[in-house]
A and B are shown apart, each in its own frame.
Chain A
Protein backbone atom coordinates (compact mmCIF):
# COMPACT_ATOMS: atom_id res chain seq x y z
CA UNK A 1 0.00 0.00 0.00
CA UNK A 2 2.84 2.33 0.91
CA UNK A 3 4.51 1.62 -2.44
CA UNK A 4 1.25 2.46 -4.22
CA UNK A 5 1.00 5.81 -2.44
CA UNK A 6 4.68 6.59 -3.18
CA UNK A 7 4.19 5.63 -6.82
CA UNK A 8 1.13 7.89 -7.05
CA UNK A 9 3.01 10.77 -5.46
CA UNK A 10 5.92 10.22 -7.86
CA UNK A 11 3.50 10.18 -10.80
CA UNK A 12 2.48 13.75 -9.99
CA UNK A 13 6.05 14.77 -9.24
CA UNK A 14 7.01 13.47 -12.71
CA UNK A 15 4.05 15.43 -14.08
CA UNK A 16 5.26 18.64 -12.41
CA UNK A 17 8.82 18.12 -13.71
CA UNK A 18 7.41 17.40 -17.17
CA UNK A 19 5.40 20.63 -17.11
CA UNK A 20 8.51 22.55 -16.05
CA UNK A 21 10.60 20.99 -18.83
CA UNK A 22 7.86 21.71 -21.37
CA UNK A 23 7.24 25.25 -20.14
CA UNK A 24 10.93 26.19 -20.22
CA UNK A 25 11.37 24.63 -23.67
CA UNK A 26 8.34 26.51 -25.02
CA UNK A 27 9.41 29.80 -23.44
CA UNK A 28 12.98 29.44 -24.72
CA UNK A 29 11.86 28.53 -28.21
CA UNK A 30 9.04 31.03 -28.63
CA UNK A 31 8.86 34.22 -26.58
CA UNK A 32 12.55 34.16 -25.67
CA UNK A 33 13.99 32.54 -28.77
CA UNK A 34 17.09 34.08 -30.32
CA UNK A 35 14.89 35.43 -33.10
CA UNK A 36 12.34 36.97 -30.74
CA UNK A 37 15.03 38.64 -28.63
CA UNK A 38 16.80 40.00 -31.69
CA UNK A 39 13.47 41.20 -33.07
CA UNK A 40 12.96 43.23 -29.89
CA UNK A 41 16.48 44.67 -30.31
CA UNK A 42 15.34 45.94 -33.70
CA UNK A 43 13.29 48.57 -31.89
CA UNK A 44 14.97 49.00 -28.55
CA UNK A 45 18.63 49.38 -29.55
CA UNK A 46 18.08 52.37 -31.86
CA UNK A 47 16.02 54.01 -29.10
CA UNK A 48 18.94 53.90 -26.66
CA UNK A 49 21.57 54.72 -29.26
CA UNK A 50 23.29 51.33 -29.18
CA UNK A 51 24.82 50.45 -32.51
CA UNK A 52 25.44 46.74 -32.66
CA UNK A 53 25.88 44.38 -35.64
CA UNK A 54 23.61 41.30 -35.78
CA UNK A 55 26.44 38.90 -34.95
CA UNK A 56 26.95 40.75 -31.65
CA UNK A 57 23.20 40.89 -31.05
CA UNK A 58 23.10 37.13 -31.45
CA UNK A 59 25.87 36.83 -28.87
CA UNK A 60 23.90 38.93 -26.36
CA UNK A 61 20.74 36.91 -27.08
CA UNK A 62 22.64 33.67 -26.44
CA UNK A 63 24.02 34.94 -23.13
CA UNK A 64 20.58 36.18 -22.08
CA UNK A 65 18.97 32.82 -22.84
CA UNK A 66 21.54 30.71 -21.01
CA UNK A 67 19.73 30.85 -17.62
CA UNK A 68 16.52 29.62 -19.27
CA UNK A 69 18.33 26.59 -20.68
CA UNK A 70 19.94 25.86 -17.31
CA UNK A 71 16.44 25.64 -15.79
CA UNK A 72 15.35 23.40 -18.67
CA UNK A 73 18.34 21.11 -18.22
CA UNK A 74 17.96 20.59 -14.48
CA UNK A 75 14.20 20.16 -14.77
CA UNK A 76 14.94 17.45 -17.36
CA UNK A 77 17.43 15.73 -15.06
CA UNK A 78 14.83 15.81 -12.25
CA UNK A 79 12.25 14.33 -14.63
CA UNK A 80 14.54 11.45 -15.60
CA UNK A 81 15.51 10.73 -11.99
CA UNK A 82 11.91 10.81 -10.72
CA UNK A 83 10.66 8.70 -13.62
CA UNK A 84 13.23 5.97 -13.07
CA UNK A 85 12.63 5.90 -9.30
CA UNK A 86 8.91 5.57 -10.02
CA UNK A 87 9.53 2.79 -12.54
CA UNK A 88 11.66 0.83 -10.09
CA UNK A 89 8.87 1.06 -7.49
CA UNK A 90 6.17 0.20 -10.07
CA UNK A 91 8.11 -2.87 -11.21
CA UNK A 92 7.75 -4.33 -7.71
CA UNK A 93 3.99 -3.87 -7.45
CA UNK A 94 2.69 -4.27 -10.99
CA UNK A 95 3.67 -5.11 -14.54
CA UNK A 96 5.14 -2.08 -16.27
CA UNK A 97 3.10 -1.28 -19.39
CA UNK A 98 4.51 -0.78 -22.87
CA UNK A 99 3.52 2.92 -22.98
CA UNK A 100 5.34 3.40 -19.72
CA UNK A 101 8.41 1.71 -21.22
CA UNK A 102 8.17 3.77 -24.41
CA UNK A 103 8.04 6.97 -22.36
CA UNK A 104 11.06 5.76 -20.36
CA UNK A 105 13.06 5.08 -23.52
CA UNK A 106 12.16 8.49 -24.95
CA UNK A 107 13.04 10.28 -21.74
CA UNK A 108 16.39 8.46 -21.63
CA UNK A 109 17.10 9.46 -25.24
CA UNK A 110 16.18 13.06 -24.45
CA UNK A 111 18.54 13.06 -21.46
CA UNK A 112 21.38 11.51 -23.46
CA UNK A 113 21.00 14.02 -26.28
CA UNK A 114 20.49 16.90 -23.86
CA UNK A 115 23.87 16.36 -22.19
CA UNK A 116 26.07 17.42 -25.15
CA UNK A 117 23.74 20.34 -25.86
CA UNK A 118 24.11 21.61 -22.32
CA UNK A 119 27.80 20.96 -21.76
CA UNK A 120 29.09 22.13 -25.15
CA UNK A 121 29.79 25.57 -23.68
CA UNK A 122 32.03 24.05 -21.00
CA UNK A 123 33.82 21.23 -22.81
CA UNK A 124 34.76 20.80 -26.43
CA UNK A 125 32.26 18.60 -28.26
CA UNK A 126 32.43 18.07 -32.03
CA UNK A 127 29.97 20.15 -34.02
CA UNK A 128 28.68 16.99 -35.72
CA UNK A 129 27.88 15.37 -32.38
CA UNK A 130 26.08 18.53 -31.23
CA UNK A 131 24.11 18.73 -34.48
CA UNK A 132 23.07 15.08 -34.29
CA UNK A 133 22.10 15.49 -30.64
CA UNK A 134 20.06 18.61 -31.47
CA UNK A 135 18.27 16.81 -34.31
CA UNK A 136 17.38 13.80 -32.13
CA UNK A 137 16.43 16.03 -29.16
CA UNK A 138 14.13 18.13 -31.35
CA UNK A 139 12.22 15.18 -32.82
CA UNK A 140 12.37 13.31 -29.51
CA UNK A 141 10.55 16.25 -27.91
CA UNK A 142 7.71 15.87 -30.39
CA UNK A 143 7.56 12.13 -29.72
CA UNK A 144 7.45 12.74 -25.95
CA UNK A 145 4.71 15.35 -26.48
CA UNK A 146 2.73 12.83 -28.57
CA UNK A 147 3.04 10.14 -25.87
CA UNK A 148 2.02 12.70 -23.25
CA UNK A 149 -1.00 13.78 -25.32
CA UNK A 150 -1.96 10.11 -25.69
CA UNK A 151 -1.63 9.63 -21.93
CA UNK A 152 -3.79 12.69 -21.34
CA UNK A 153 -6.48 11.54 -23.76
CA UNK A 154 -6.44 8.08 -22.19
CA UNK A 155 -6.77 9.55 -18.70
CA UNK A 156 -9.61 11.81 -19.75
CA UNK A 157 -11.45 8.94 -21.42
CA UNK A 158 -11.00 6.83 -18.33
CA UNK A 159 -12.18 9.64 -16.07
CA UNK A 160 -15.31 10.69 -17.80
CA UNK A 161 -15.81 7.87 -20.29
CA UNK A 162 -15.99 10.17 -23.27
CA UNK A 163 -16.68 8.71 -26.69
CA UNK A 164 -13.97 8.04 -29.27
CA UNK A 165 -15.17 11.09 -31.16
CA UNK A 166 -14.57 13.35 -28.14
CA UNK A 167 -11.03 12.00 -27.80
CA UNK A 168 -10.34 12.96 -31.40
CA UNK A 169 -11.81 16.40 -30.73
CA UNK A 170 -9.44 16.89 -27.81
CA UNK A 171 -6.41 15.96 -29.94
CA UNK A 172 -7.62 18.31 -32.70
CA UNK A 173 -7.98 21.06 -30.08
CA UNK A 174 -4.36 20.62 -28.93
CA UNK A 175 -3.09 20.50 -32.51
CA UNK A 176 -5.03 23.65 -33.34
CA UNK A 177 -2.93 25.55 -30.78
CA UNK A 178 0.08 25.27 -33.09
CA UNK A 179 -0.60 28.32 -35.28
CA UNK A 180 -0.96 30.51 -32.18
CA UNK A 181 2.79 30.79 -31.94
CA UNK A 182 4.16 33.71 -33.91
CA UNK A 183 6.43 33.38 -36.89
CA UNK A 184 9.83 33.08 -35.32
CA UNK A 185 11.78 33.67 -38.45
CA UNK A 186 10.82 37.23 -39.20
CA UNK A 187 13.60 39.56 -40.12
CA UNK A 188 15.30 41.96 -37.76
CA UNK A 189 17.00 45.27 -38.16
CA UNK A 190 20.35 46.71 -37.38
CA UNK A 191 22.25 49.84 -38.11
CA UNK A 192 25.86 50.30 -39.04
CA UNK A 193 28.05 53.34 -38.69
CA UNK A 194 30.05 54.69 -41.57
CA UNK A 195 33.73 53.93 -41.03
CA UNK A 196 35.33 55.80 -43.92
CA UNK A 197 34.36 58.68 -46.12
CA UNK A 198 33.77 58.48 -49.87
CA UNK A 199 35.70 60.78 -52.23
CA UNK A 200 33.74 63.68 -53.71
CA UNK A 201 33.61 62.15 -57.19
CA UNK A 202 32.46 58.73 -55.90
CA UNK A 203 28.75 59.41 -56.26
CA UNK A 204 27.65 55.78 -56.04
CA UNK A 205 29.67 55.34 -52.87
CA UNK A 206 28.12 58.44 -51.29
CA UNK A 207 24.65 57.27 -52.23
CA UNK A 208 25.36 53.78 -50.90
CA UNK A 209 26.54 55.13 -47.53
CA UNK A 210 23.49 57.43 -47.36
CA UNK A 211 21.25 54.39 -47.90
CA UNK A 212 23.21 52.38 -45.34
CA UNK A 213 22.86 55.07 -42.70
CA UNK A 214 19.17 55.53 -43.45
CA UNK A 215 19.53 59.13 -44.57
CA UNK A 216 17.70 58.25 -47.76
CA UNK A 217 15.33 55.45 -48.67
CA UNK A 218 14.70 54.42 -45.05
CA UNK A 219 11.34 53.18 -43.86
CA UNK A 220 9.79 54.71 -40.77
CA UNK A 221 8.40 52.09 -38.43
CA UNK A 222 6.24 52.75 -35.40
CA UNK A 223 5.55 50.34 -32.63
CA UNK A 224 3.12 50.80 -29.78
CA UNK A 225 3.82 49.23 -26.41
CA UNK A 226 0.39 49.55 -24.76
CA UNK A 227 0.93 47.13 -21.93
CA UNK A 228 4.17 48.31 -20.39
CA UNK A 229 3.83 46.92 -16.87
CA UNK A 230 5.97 49.45 -15.06
CA UNK A 231 5.26 52.95 -13.86
CA UNK A 232 8.69 53.91 -15.13
CA UNK A 233 7.73 53.23 -18.76
CA UNK A 234 5.95 56.54 -18.98
CA UNK A 235 8.58 58.36 -16.94
CA UNK A 236 12.09 57.89 -18.28
CA UNK A 237 14.92 58.58 -15.86
CA UNK A 238 15.71 62.25 -15.55
CA UNK A 239 18.58 63.25 -17.79
CA UNK A 240 18.37 59.97 -19.69
CA UNK A 241 19.15 60.01 -23.37
CA UNK A 242 16.13 57.81 -24.07
CA UNK A 243 13.50 59.63 -26.02
CA UNK A 244 10.05 58.26 -25.31
CA UNK A 245 7.45 60.09 -27.38
CA UNK A 246 3.78 60.04 -26.43
CA UNK A 247 4.30 59.14 -22.80
CA UNK A 248 6.64 56.29 -23.54
CA UNK A 249 4.08 54.13 -25.32
CA UNK A 250 5.12 54.68 -28.89
CA UNK A 251 8.46 53.82 -30.42
CA UNK A 252 9.63 55.11 -33.77
CA UNK A 253 12.66 53.87 -35.67
CA UNK A 254 13.92 54.24 -39.21
CA UNK A 255 14.89 51.11 -41.09
CA UNK A 256 17.50 51.60 -43.84
CA UNK A 257 17.20 49.87 -47.20
CA UNK A 258 20.20 47.56 -46.77
CA UNK A 259 19.63 45.75 -50.05
CA UNK A 260 19.90 48.94 -52.06
CA UNK A 261 22.83 50.17 -49.93
CA UNK A 262 24.90 47.04 -50.52
CA UNK A 263 24.14 46.95 -54.23
CA UNK A 264 25.20 50.61 -54.60
CA UNK A 265 28.40 50.07 -52.62
CA UNK A 266 29.28 47.00 -54.69
CA UNK A 267 28.64 48.93 -57.89
CA UNK A 268 30.84 51.74 -56.60
CA UNK A 269 33.63 49.30 -55.66
CA UNK A 270 33.57 47.84 -59.16
CA UNK A 271 32.84 50.86 -61.37
CA UNK A 272 34.37 53.71 -59.38
CA UNK A 273 37.03 51.41 -57.89
CA UNK A 274 36.16 53.04 -54.60
CA UNK A 275 38.19 51.73 -51.68
CA UNK A 276 35.84 53.53 -49.30
CA UNK A 277 32.80 51.75 -50.73
CA UNK A 278 34.53 48.36 -50.64
CA UNK A 279 35.61 48.89 -47.02
CA UNK A 280 32.16 50.10 -46.04
CA UNK A 281 30.44 47.14 -47.70
CA UNK A 282 32.93 44.59 -46.35
CA UNK A 283 32.76 45.95 -42.82
CA UNK A 284 28.96 45.93 -42.98
CA UNK A 285 28.75 42.39 -44.37
CA UNK A 286 31.25 40.96 -41.87
CA UNK A 287 29.07 42.23 -39.05
CA UNK A 288 26.09 40.41 -40.49
CA UNK A 289 27.29 36.85 -40.18
CA UNK A 290 29.37 34.98 -37.60
CA UNK A 291 31.83 34.15 -40.36
CA UNK A 292 34.39 32.80 -37.88
CA UNK A 293 32.10 29.89 -37.01
CA UNK A 294 32.64 26.65 -38.89
CA UNK A 295 28.92 26.79 -39.65
CA UNK A 296 27.39 30.29 -39.60
CA UNK A 297 24.21 30.71 -37.58
CA UNK A 298 21.04 29.94 -39.53
CA UNK A 299 19.29 32.83 -37.79
CA UNK A 300 21.80 35.31 -39.16
CA UNK A 301 21.82 33.71 -42.61
CA UNK A 302 18.01 33.92 -42.78
CA UNK A 303 18.10 37.53 -41.68
CA UNK A 304 20.77 38.36 -44.28
CA UNK A 305 18.59 36.78 -46.96
CA UNK A 306 15.57 38.78 -45.88
CA UNK A 307 17.24 42.14 -45.42
CA UNK A 308 20.07 42.12 -47.94
CA UNK A 309 18.72 39.52 -50.39
CA UNK A 310 21.85 37.33 -50.21
CA UNK A 311 22.16 33.65 -49.43
CA UNK A 312 25.34 32.27 -47.88
CA UNK A 313 26.84 31.40 -51.26
CA UNK A 314 26.27 34.91 -52.60
CA UNK A 315 27.63 36.30 -49.34
CA UNK A 316 30.83 34.29 -49.69
CA UNK A 317 31.21 35.40 -53.29
CA UNK A 318 30.67 39.10 -52.51
CA UNK A 319 32.99 39.05 -49.47
CA UNK A 320 35.67 37.40 -51.65
CA UNK A 321 35.19 40.06 -54.36
CA UNK A 322 35.39 42.91 -51.87
CA UNK A 323 38.57 41.58 -50.26
CA UNK A 324 39.97 41.14 -53.80
CA UNK A 325 39.20 44.79 -54.67
CA UNK A 326 40.83 46.04 -51.47
CA UNK A 327 43.93 43.85 -51.86
CA UNK A 328 44.28 45.06 -55.45
CA UNK A 329 44.45 48.61 -54.05
CA UNK A 330 46.82 47.45 -51.29
CA UNK A 331 44.35 48.67 -48.69
CA UNK A 332 45.58 47.75 -45.16
CA UNK A 333 42.12 46.67 -44.00
CA UNK A 334 41.71 44.43 -47.06
CA UNK A 335 45.18 42.91 -46.58
CA UNK A 336 44.51 42.23 -42.92
CA UNK A 337 41.20 40.55 -43.72
CA UNK A 338 42.76 38.54 -46.59
CA UNK A 339 45.46 37.23 -44.25
CA UNK A 340 42.99 36.46 -41.50
CA UNK A 341 40.69 34.59 -43.89
CA UNK A 342 43.62 32.68 -45.44
CA UNK A 343 45.10 31.74 -42.06
CA UNK A 344 41.87 30.44 -40.53
CA UNK A 345 40.08 29.32 -43.68
CA UNK A 346 36.99 31.40 -42.84
CA UNK A 347 34.04 30.74 -45.18
CA UNK A 348 36.31 28.44 -47.18
CA UNK A 349 37.37 31.40 -49.33
CA UNK A 350 40.49 31.42 -51.49
CA UNK A 351 42.28 34.70 -50.81
CA UNK A 352 44.35 36.77 -53.26
CA UNK A 353 48.11 36.99 -52.88
CA UNK A 354 49.14 40.03 -50.83
CA UNK A 355 52.89 39.73 -51.28
CA UNK A 356 52.87 42.37 -54.05
CA UNK A 357 51.83 45.14 -51.66
CA UNK A 358 54.48 47.20 -49.86
CA UNK A 359 55.05 46.21 -46.21
CA UNK A 360 53.87 49.67 -45.02
CA UNK A 361 50.31 48.68 -45.99
CA UNK A 362 50.79 45.11 -44.91
CA UNK A 363 50.17 45.21 -41.16
CA UNK A 364 50.47 41.53 -40.39
CA UNK A 365 53.76 41.11 -42.28
CA UNK A 366 56.47 39.97 -39.93
CA UNK A 367 54.13 38.70 -37.19
Chain B
Protein backbone atom coordinates (compact mmCIF):
# COMPACT_ATOMS: atom_id res chain seq x y z
CA UNK B 1 0.00 0.00 0.00
CA UNK B 2 2.76 2.40 0.90
CA UNK B 3 4.09 2.01 -2.61
CA UNK B 4 1.30 4.27 -3.83
CA UNK B 5 2.36 7.05 -1.48
CA UNK B 6 4.60 9.67 -2.95
CA UNK B 7 6.85 10.63 -0.04
CA UNK B 8 8.15 13.81 -1.59
CA UNK B 9 6.62 16.66 0.41
CA UNK B 10 4.27 18.90 -1.51
CA UNK B 11 4.36 16.90 -4.72
CA UNK B 12 1.35 14.64 -4.57
CA UNK B 13 -1.48 13.77 -2.22
CA UNK B 14 -1.41 10.48 -0.50
CA UNK B 15 -4.11 8.65 -2.42
CA UNK B 16 -4.52 5.87 0.11
CA UNK B 17 -4.69 8.35 2.90
CA UNK B 18 -7.67 10.05 1.29
CA UNK B 19 -9.50 6.74 1.33
CA UNK B 20 -8.51 6.20 4.92
CA UNK B 21 -9.76 9.69 5.77
CA UNK B 22 -13.08 8.96 4.05
CA UNK B 23 -13.51 5.74 6.04
CA UNK B 24 -12.61 7.50 9.27
CA UNK B 25 -15.00 10.34 8.41
CA UNK B 26 -17.89 7.94 7.88
CA UNK B 27 -17.16 6.27 11.23
CA UNK B 28 -16.94 9.65 12.96
CA UNK B 29 -20.31 10.68 11.52
CA UNK B 30 -21.85 7.44 12.81
CA UNK B 31 -20.37 7.93 16.28
CA UNK B 32 -21.44 11.56 16.56
CA UNK B 33 -24.92 10.85 15.17
CA UNK B 34 -25.54 8.12 17.73
CA UNK B 35 -24.30 10.39 20.51
CA UNK B 36 -26.56 13.25 19.44
CA UNK B 37 -29.56 10.93 19.10
CA UNK B 38 -29.01 9.23 22.44
CA UNK B 39 -28.13 12.31 24.45
CA UNK B 40 -30.53 14.85 22.93
CA UNK B 41 -33.15 13.63 20.46
CA UNK B 42 -34.05 10.47 22.38
CA UNK B 43 -32.96 11.58 25.84
CA UNK B 44 -34.90 10.83 29.01
CA UNK B 45 -36.26 14.39 28.99
CA UNK B 46 -37.51 14.11 25.40
CA UNK B 47 -39.16 10.82 26.25
CA UNK B 48 -40.75 12.37 29.31
CA UNK B 49 -42.34 15.07 27.11
CA UNK B 50 -43.56 12.49 24.59
CA UNK B 51 -45.31 10.53 27.34
CA UNK B 52 -46.74 13.72 28.79
CA UNK B 53 -48.22 14.51 25.38
CA UNK B 54 -49.98 11.14 25.57
CA UNK B 55 -51.30 12.01 29.03
CA UNK B 56 -48.95 9.70 30.95
CA UNK B 57 -46.85 11.25 33.69
CA UNK B 58 -43.52 9.54 34.37
CA UNK B 59 -41.13 10.10 37.23
CA UNK B 60 -37.42 10.56 36.56
CA UNK B 61 -36.47 6.96 37.29
CA UNK B 62 -39.23 5.56 35.07
CA UNK B 63 -38.31 7.85 32.16
CA UNK B 64 -34.68 6.82 32.61
CA UNK B 65 -35.48 3.13 32.50
CA UNK B 66 -37.71 3.44 29.43
CA UNK B 67 -35.08 5.61 27.74
CA UNK B 68 -32.23 3.26 28.60
CA UNK B 69 -34.16 0.33 27.18
CA UNK B 70 -34.71 2.29 23.96
CA UNK B 71 -31.03 3.15 23.64
CA UNK B 72 -29.65 -0.19 24.70
CA UNK B 73 -29.15 -1.56 21.19
CA UNK B 74 -27.55 1.64 19.90
CA UNK B 75 -24.82 2.26 22.48
CA UNK B 76 -22.77 -0.88 21.69
CA UNK B 77 -22.54 0.26 18.06
CA UNK B 78 -21.27 3.62 19.28
CA UNK B 79 -18.72 2.02 21.63
CA UNK B 80 -17.41 -0.52 19.17
CA UNK B 81 -17.15 2.01 16.34
CA UNK B 82 -15.38 4.48 18.68
CA UNK B 83 -12.83 1.93 19.76
CA UNK B 84 -12.26 0.74 16.20
CA UNK B 85 -11.88 4.33 14.95
CA UNK B 86 -9.40 5.12 17.73
CA UNK B 87 -7.32 2.09 16.79
CA UNK B 88 -7.51 3.10 13.14
CA UNK B 89 -6.32 6.59 14.05
CA UNK B 90 -3.42 5.15 16.06
CA UNK B 91 -2.37 3.16 13.02
CA UNK B 92 -2.93 6.09 10.66
CA UNK B 93 -0.97 8.45 12.91
CA UNK B 94 1.94 6.07 13.38
CA UNK B 95 2.10 5.29 9.64
CA UNK B 96 2.26 8.89 8.50
CA UNK B 97 4.28 10.37 11.35
CA UNK B 98 6.88 7.75 10.44
CA UNK B 99 7.21 9.18 6.93
CA UNK B 100 7.40 12.83 7.84
CA UNK B 101 3.74 13.70 8.31
CA UNK B 102 4.55 16.03 11.19
CA UNK B 103 3.37 16.75 14.70
CA UNK B 104 -0.37 16.46 14.00
CA UNK B 105 0.06 12.78 13.09
CA UNK B 106 1.99 12.18 16.27
CA UNK B 107 -0.74 13.97 18.25
CA UNK B 108 -3.40 11.95 16.42
CA UNK B 109 -1.66 8.70 17.31
CA UNK B 110 -1.21 9.56 21.00
CA UNK B 111 -4.67 11.08 21.54
CA UNK B 112 -6.40 8.23 19.72
CA UNK B 113 -4.41 5.69 21.72
CA UNK B 114 -5.42 7.28 25.02
CA UNK B 115 -9.03 7.54 23.83
CA UNK B 116 -9.11 3.88 22.78
CA UNK B 117 -7.65 2.67 26.06
CA UNK B 118 -10.03 4.80 28.13
CA UNK B 119 -12.93 3.64 25.97
CA UNK B 120 -12.01 0.00 26.45
CA UNK B 121 -11.76 0.52 30.22
CA UNK B 122 -15.20 2.20 30.31
CA UNK B 123 -16.81 -0.44 28.12
CA UNK B 124 -15.19 -3.63 29.48
CA UNK B 125 -14.61 -2.80 33.14
CA UNK B 126 -17.48 -0.32 33.45
CA UNK B 127 -15.39 2.36 35.07
CA UNK B 128 -17.20 5.65 34.26
CA UNK B 129 -14.52 7.85 35.88
CA UNK B 130 -12.51 7.38 32.69
CA UNK B 131 -15.23 9.10 30.66
CA UNK B 132 -13.58 12.54 30.79
CA UNK B 133 -10.24 11.15 29.68
CA UNK B 134 -12.04 9.46 26.80
CA UNK B 135 -13.93 12.64 25.86
CA UNK B 136 -10.87 14.93 25.95
CA UNK B 137 -8.63 12.48 24.09
CA UNK B 138 -11.39 11.93 21.50
CA UNK B 139 -11.80 15.66 21.01
CA UNK B 140 -8.03 16.11 20.49
CA UNK B 141 -7.90 13.20 18.06
CA UNK B 142 -10.94 14.55 16.18
CA UNK B 143 -9.31 17.99 15.92
CA UNK B 144 -6.12 16.42 14.50
CA UNK B 145 -8.23 14.38 12.10
CA UNK B 146 -10.17 17.44 10.90
CA UNK B 147 -6.95 19.36 10.44
CA UNK B 148 -5.48 16.58 8.30
CA UNK B 149 -8.76 16.21 6.40
CA UNK B 150 -8.90 19.94 5.66
CA UNK B 151 -5.42 19.97 4.14
CA UNK B 152 -5.94 16.75 2.21
CA UNK B 153 -9.22 17.76 0.57
CA UNK B 154 -8.05 21.28 -0.19
CA UNK B 155 -5.25 20.12 -2.41
Contact = CB atoms under 8 A, between A and B. Distances in A.
A48 B53 contact: no
A181 to B, nearest CB: 11
A48 B16 contact: no
Label chain B's interface by main secondary structure: helix
B34 to A, nearest CB: 8
A59 B49 CA distance: 12
A201 B105 CA distance: 81
Interface stretch (A204-212, A236-244, A328-336, A357-365): A236-244
B151 interface: no
A60 B61 contact: no
B42 A32 contact: yes
A230 interface: yes
A227 B79 contact: yes
A233 interface: yes
Contact of B70 (A27, A40, A160, A251): A40
Interface in B1-44: 4, 15-16, 18-19, 25-26, 29-30, 33-34, 37, 40-42
B125 interface: no
A227 B65 contact: no
B120 interface: no
Contacts of B71: 229
B50 A63 contact: yes
Interface residues of B, number: 46
Interface in A1-59: 5, 8-9, 12, 19-20, 23-24, 27, 31-32, 36-37, 40-41, 43-45, 47-48, 50, 52, 56, 59
A277 to B, nearest CB: 28
Contact of B41 (A9, A52, A67, A228): A67
Contacts of A98: none
A68 B69 contact: no
Nearest to B26: A19
8 contacts: A36-B70, A40-B66, A44-B66, A60-B56, A225-B72, A229-B71, A237-B59, A241-B62
Closest 3 CB pairs of A and B: A44-B69, A237-B61, A63-B50
Interface of B: 4, 15-16, 18-19, 25-26, 29-30, 33-34, 37, 40-42, 46-47, 49-51, 53-54, 56, 58-62, 64-66, 68-77, 79, 123, 128, 153-154
